Structure 1
Amino acid sequence: MNSVEDLCGVIGSKITWGRGEDPQQLTADTPLLEMGLLDSLAIMEIISALANEHGVELPDTEVVAANFRTPKALWAVIEGLSAGAAK
């Protein structure tokens, strides 16, 4: 995963859109929680996809609502983890 746009794709693939609701294109600033797009299952599926498909292990301490408010917020966590691993 190389960008917040890639992350938007991962998140978008884990969202269950409502009946009769057209799937939307997510942007870095999409308010995921405010719009009700994520529930606890979707968050766990995102965490699993990040680990299994992209090798990004999200520590339990980072699984908090603030980090899932927008794709950009989660991307900042991922970048921080990558920077920490590079040290």
Structure 2
Amino acid sequence: MRGIDSVIRTVAHVLAGILVIWIIMDLLDANRANTVVGWFHSAADWLAAWSIGLFDVAGHTLQVLLDYGIPAVVYVVIANVIASRAFGRP
């Protein structure tokens, strides 16, 4: 079952990567009218919908890091736990 745990981890890392790329784009003030930037924004908003506004802090930078960084970490941690528990060696 080595392949399935790798797929689970890879999917989680891709999702986290989308969130991290959006964090970087937002903090660098990327042009939201651009198609690629718009796609990352939409995807990140969908992936982080449950965490946006979870914490209300002063400052745009910290707010973006919390809104999109928390789900990135959660997805990777959950995927690693699932992959190791479900498909790990006994």
Q: Does TM, normalized by the shorter one, top 0.5? A: no
**Which structure would you say has the larger RCO, counting Cα contacts within 8 Å and 6 or more residues apart?**
2
Q: Could you state the TM-score of these two structures normalised by the residue count of structure 2?
A: 0.29
Q: Could you state the TM-score of these two structures normalised by the residue count of structure 1?
A: 0.30
Structure with higher helix content: 2
